[in-house]
Amino acid sequence: MIKIGVIGCGFIGSQICAAVDSGVVAAELAGIFDFSAEKVESVLQTLQNSSPQKTMPEEMAKSCDLIIECASQEAVLKYAPMILEHGKDMMVLSAGAFQNPDFYAKIQKTAADHNCKVYLPSGAIAGTDGLKSAAIAGIKSVTVTTRKPISGLAGSPYLAEKKINLADITTPTLLFEGKATDAVVAFPKNVNVCATISLCGLGFEKTVVKVIADPTISDNIHELEVFGDFGHMKMTIENKPSPINPKTSYLAALSAISTLKRITDPIQIGV
Ligand SMILES: NC(=O)C1=CN([C@@H]2O[C@H](COP(=O)(O)OP(=O)(O)OC[C@H]3O[C@@H](n4cnc5c(N)ncnc54)[C@H](O)[C@@H]3O)[C@@H](O)[C@H]2O)C=CC1
Ligand SMILES: O=C([O-])CC(=O)C(=O)O
């Protein structure tokens, strides 16, 4: 059984730990870490069958086979190179960290040099399967439109920079339209989906992102539109937000668990 370590004990981390603990995924939960000791304790209290070590990522990189980042883009920048240098596989949820081409190239090289893998779940969006296939023949345009309730956008750096007060927004309002490169910096906890879509398709510089604050909805809605030699793809997903972190959709945690199942299952389905 593979030994997994989890960095980040918030919504996604706690769901992953619960899935491993309950046997949904055939793996051993060997280590957990969060810079909030309280978050670590709250996850530990929910576990019935697992006794992971409370451990720093540097220790996890020695004792675990696969380390899952579900913390923040900063955590990816800080820990991913070190983990891969230990020859250990990683799963990354905060995919926006890869918008820096030098960092992405470094991760690709380190993983290749140490014969290990970096898994990016599809997260809170659907359509990565079709997009990856379409990209083989050539894609002309990719647009991701993210529409979130006001509570899901609070605290984004872009709002402070542009002096936007979310309390003033009473109708659906386009806050941002631009490149994925800039979107993941402006909304680091909201549009990791567009980072994943960029990596599947046209890249960060050519993927267009729109972020809409919508006080009339309660779901996190992502729309993906792709034109290419394959034809035209349009996908809309209406995600239930996590009850403990409204920025994050429930599907994001499920996609991490599903990716873990794919890694551990002998039969592989889908692209
Ligand atoms: N790829 C995708 O489609 C999606 C990605 N995400 C991203 O996944 C990550 C996790 O999401 P949630 O569990 O909802 O977040 P959360 O806010 O509920 O939990 C994150 C946890 O990580 C901890 N943390 C943050 N930075 C850390 C660091 N440098 N070292 C150690 N601990 C750290 C925090 O204390 C917190 O307990 C976030 O970056 C989020 O933006 C979320 C939804 C979709
Ligand atoms: O969970 C979502 O709906 C999307 C999200 O926060 C992200 O991509 O970072």
Ligand 2 in contact with 192 (CB < 6 A)? yes
Ligand 2 in contact with 124 (CB < 6 A)? yes
pLDDT in tens, 89-135: 999 999 999 999 999 999 999 999 999 999 999 999 999 999 999 99
The percentage of the chain sitting over the pLDDT mark of 70, rounded to a whole number, equals: 100
Give the model's pLDDT for residue 258: 97
Q: How many whole angstroms from 37 Cα to the centroid of ligand 1?
A: 15
d(Cα 199, Cα 98) in Å, to the nearest integer?
9
Among candidate residues 89, 95, 90, 153, the one with its CA nearest the CA of residue 122: 95
Give the model's pLDDT for residue 234: 98
Give the model's pLDDT for residue 143: 98
Q: What is the mean pLDDT of the chain?
A: 97
The percentage of the chain sitting over the pLDDT mark of 90, rounded to a whole number, equals: 97
Catalytic residue among 86, 114, 222, 232: 222
Q: Is 222 a catalytic residue?
A: yes
Give the model's pLDDT for residue 237: 98
Among the bound ligands, name the one nearest to the CA of residue 125.
Answer: 1
Segments in the chain forming alpha helices (H) = 11-21, 37-46, 57-63, 73-85, 101-113, 128-137, 150-153, 157-161, 180-186, 192-200, 250-264
| Strand pairing category for 89-92 and 118-119 | parallel
Q: Output the six-digit token pair for 217.
A: 């909805």
Task: Name the pLDDT band for 259 (thresholds 50, 70, 90).
Answer: very high
Task: Name the pLDDT band for 270 (thresholds 50, 70, 90).
Answer: confident
Phi, psi of 249 (to 5 degrees): -85, 150
With 0-12 / 13-18 / 19 or more C-beta atoms within 10 angstroms meaning exposed / middle / buried, residue 111 is buried
pLDDT in tens, 42-69: 999 999 999 999 999 999 999 999 999 9
Task: Name the pLDDT band for 82 (thresholds 50, 70, 90).
Answer: very high
Please name the amino acid found at residue 262: R
User: DSSP assignment of 8-22, as one string?
Assistant: --SHHHHHHHHHHHT
pLDDT in tens, 198-255: 999 999 999 999 999 999 999 999 999 999 999 999 999 999 999 889 999 999 999 9
Q: How many whole angstroms from 32 Cα to the centroid of ligand 1?
A: 14
Map residue 189 onto helix, strand or coil: coil
Determine the distance from the C-alpha atom of residue 206 to the mean position of all C-alpha atoms in its chain, rounded to a whole number.
20
Task: Name the pLDDT band for 269 (thresholds 50, 70, 90).
Answer: confident
Among the bound ligands, name the one nearest to the CA of residue 37.
Answer: 1
Q: Is 100 annotated as a binding residue?
A: no
| Strand pairing category for 139-148 and 66-69 | unpaired
Q: Output the six-digit token pair for 16.
A: 């992953």
Give the residue, by CA position, lying nearest to ligand 1 atom 32.
Answer: 34
Q: How many whole angstroms from 227 Cα to the centroid of ligand 1?
A: 32
| C-beta of residue 217 within 8 angstroms of C-beta of residue 116 | no
C-alpha Rg value of the chain to the nearest Å: 18
Does pLDDT of 8 surpass 90?
Answer: yes
Q: Is 137 annotated as a binding residue?
A: no
Q: What is the mean pLDDT of residues 149-167?
A: 95
Q: How many whole angstroms from 57 Cα to the centroid of ligand 2?
A: 24
| Strand pairing category for 53-54 and 207-213 | unpaired
Task: Name the pLDDT band for 29 (thresholds 50, 70, 90).
Answer: very high
Does pLDDT of 266 surpass 90?
Answer: no
Give the model's pLDDT for residue 268: 86
d(Cα 57, Cα 181) in Å, to the nearest integer?
27
User: DSSP assignment of 217-238, as one string?
Assistant: -SSEEEEEEEEETTEEEEEEEE
Task: Name the pLDDT band for 16 (thresholds 50, 70, 90).
Answer: very high
Among the bound ligands, name the one nearest to the CA of residue 239.
Answer: 2
Ligand 2 in contact with 193 (CB < 6 A)? yes
Does pLDDT of 35 surpass 90?
Answer: yes
